[in-house]
Amino acid sequence: MAHAATDARLELRGVSKAYPSVLANDDISLRIKPGSIHAILGENGAGKSTLMKIIYGVVVADCGEILWDGAAVEITSPSHARALGIGMVFQHFSLFPALSVLENLVLSLPAGMPRQAIAAAAFELAGQHGLAVELDRVVHSLSVGERQRVEILRCLMQEPRLLIMDEPTSVLTPQAAEELFVLMRRLAAAGCSIAYISHKLHEVCELCDAATVLRRGRVVATVDPRQQSQSSLARMMIGDMEGPVRAQSSAEPGGVRLRVNGLQRAAGDEFAMPLCDIDLSVRGGEIVGVGGIAGNGQAELLEALSGEWIAPHAGTLEIDDVPAGRLGPTARRRLGLAYVPEERLGHGAVPQMTLTKNVLLTADKRDTVGKGLIRYDVVRRFAQTCIDTFDVRTANPGTLAQTLSGGNLQKFIVGREFSQEPGVVIAAQPTWGLDVGAASAIRARLNDMRARGAAILLISEDLDELLEVCDRITIISAGRLSPPRATAKTSVEEVGRWMAGRAPDELRAKEAGAHHAG
């Protein structure tokens, strides 16, 4: 087909995609120009991920037309997309976990390029763009944030003409995010088009020159976000929304419900981060945040708190004054602990199981089993309650977990844990990848549980979230915690410096006494 007169690098015309239970994309049309940073906005379930998968060749549209540089194309596979010059950084990563970082890079590039040359090019590109990666690391040993850096590096090595980025800053410090923005602007100035998916509307207003807003599978607006406010963009996405969630309890916190005493953990392998002298306490009616750059010990700390790693001494961890360091996950849950892991599929939920059966993983306190038999009527009702209360977009509780979008699966897992009225909550990245409305609802629920006396430990790389909902904040760096500090007495910029390992020694010394006493 001859090239049509167009100034668009990529154009979609009337693209639709239906699944058995949902119309994911309904007559979508959009145009992305060369050198444009074009935001794709919408709630979870609005159709963003399906649309990007169509562009990248993972999913084939039922109808509609795709034009690339003015010529109609049928993108049949990711390799075909890459050959055209389309790269994608997935929110749910597409790396091979059993291979090293370098091996993943080799597989993404054309055959014949020497491995040593790839390693040299990757090292140079990573250094140029501030993407700290270790090429010899096996991917399964990497944290979520580290895997995202590998995904970004892998795409950049393909020299894309259109780069699709799905929530790229969700696990970056503010300073690292700014460095990424510099990179994106440089790529755009060189003519690369960028399709940018983000729920951080301040990023969109700052970075993007165009935005297409989806709602329930349809385009509802295409605007210049530089001429919009965050509130106006949010209203386009989800209609009227509530104001900021910040609503700390006016009551004084109660007694300590979660305490960590001198936690020491040696590195389990050459890539793990040892934990050194971790002291931490969370009182009832309090939210304590733990921030930090991915890979600084968050995964190891979560394993120690959840019971996946057993401490040498029972007193290392206390739940409501009960020594729990030697207890496993089930016994800790029976003491009132709830846990939301950062990895949804495979850790928070079993992909091949229905939502009903996934309830059984943790909800044994809900009378789901009687006389040795599963009470499926109780389990189904509880699953439906989670779906209804947390607005999970799915047909019914019989849906397989792996068929839900990332945001909807996260809402179900959070609902399953929060709906059990726990006394102690450990939540890792609970709003990662969620739209504005869903994230606000979860933060409001955290506030509700705090008001009812729960002790909440929130581990997140989203500093805006930590500063919005937490009473105190601490930073984990190289396996050590900084002294906790009231969020009202710090800022995004200051905490970002701590995350980068530049916490002032005088602050650490000044607050060390309060930290150990707390």
Phi, psi angle pair for 10, to nearest 5°: -125, 135
The residue type found at 293 is: I
Q: Is residue 115 part of a domain?
A: yes
Which residues, listed in sequence order, are joined to residue 37 by a DSSP beta bridge? Answer: 194
**Contact assessment for residue 213 and residue 237, using Cβ atoms and an 8 Å cutoff:** yes
User: With pLDDT > 70 as the criterion, what percentage of the chain qualifies?
Assistant: 87
Domain co-membership, 293 together with 436:
yes
Can you give the pLDDT at residue 241?
Answer: 43
Where residue 380 falls among pLDDT bands split at 50, 70, 90? very high
Domain co-membership, 321 together with 212:
no
The answer to whether residue 253 scores a pLDDT higher than 80 is: yes
Phi, psi angle pair for 55, to nearest 5°: -65, -35
Domain co-membership, 32 together with 156:
yes
Sheet holding 275-283: strands in order across?
275-283, 256-265, 317-319, 322-323
**Averaged confidence pLDDT in the chain:** 85
Nearest to 129 by CA among 178, 91, 191, 169: 178
Domain co-membership, 230 together with 263:
no
Alpha carbon 464 to its chain's center: 14
Helix, strand, coil percentages in the chain from 3-state DSSP, rounded to 5? 35, 25, 40
User: With pLDDT > 90 as the criterion, what percentage of the chain qualifies?
Assistant: 46
Boundary-marking domain end, from 203, 238, 273: 238
Domain co-membership, 121 together with 227:
yes
- The CB density around residue 23, as the number of other CB atoms within 10 Å, is 16
Domain co-membership, 134 together with 231:
yes
Which helix (DSSP H) or strand (DSSP E) does residue 299 occupy? helix 298-306
**Contact assessment for residue 300 and residue 479, using Cβ atoms and an 8 Å cutoff:** yes
Tell me the C-alpha distance between 331 and 238, whole Å.
41
Domain co-membership, 81 together with 213:
yes
Domain co-membership, 137 together with 96:
yes
b/e per residue, 230-269, with b = 16+ CB within 10 A?
eeebbbbbbeeeeeebeebeeeebeebbbbbbebebeeee
pLDDT tens-digit map of 120-151:
999 988 887 777 789 999 988 887 667 878 88
Domains held by the chain: number:
2
DSSP three-state, residue 427? strand
Can you give the pLDDT at residue 472?
Answer: 95
CATH number at residue 278: 3.40.50.300
Can you give the pLDDT at residue 38?
Answer: 97
Domain co-membership, 62 together with 128:
yes
Q: Is residue 488 part of a domain?
A: yes
Tell me the C-alpha distance between 432 and 206, whole Å.
20
The strand ranges marked E within 60-116 are 63-68, 71-73, 86-89
Domain co-membership, 117 together with 197:
yes
**Contact assessment for residue 94 and residue 139, using Cβ atoms and an 8 Å cutoff:** no
Q: Angle of helix 492-499 relative to helix 174-189, nearest 10 degrees?
A: 90
Domain co-membership, 99 together with 217:
yes
The strand ranges marked E within 82-227 are 86-89, 162-166, 193-197, 210-215, 218-223
Where residue 507 falls among pLDDT bands split at 50, 70, 90? very low
The answer to whether residue 435 scores a pLDDT higher than 80 is: no
Q: Is residue 322 part of a domain?
A: yes
DSSP calls for 475-499 = EEETTEEPPPEEGGG--HHHHHHHH
Q: Which two tokens stand for residue 112?
A: 């014949």
What is the pTM (predicted TM-score) of this model? 0.63
Domain co-membership, 260 together with 231:
no
Nearest to 446 by CA among 282, 322, 329: 282
Q: Is residue 19 part of a domain?
A: yes
Place of tokens 């994608």: 88
Range of the domain at 428: 256-336+422-517
In whole angstroms, how far apart are CA 299 and each of 220, 224, 281, 414? 40, 39, 18, 18
In whole angstroms, how far apart are CA 76 and each of 55, 56, 57, 73? 10, 9, 5, 9
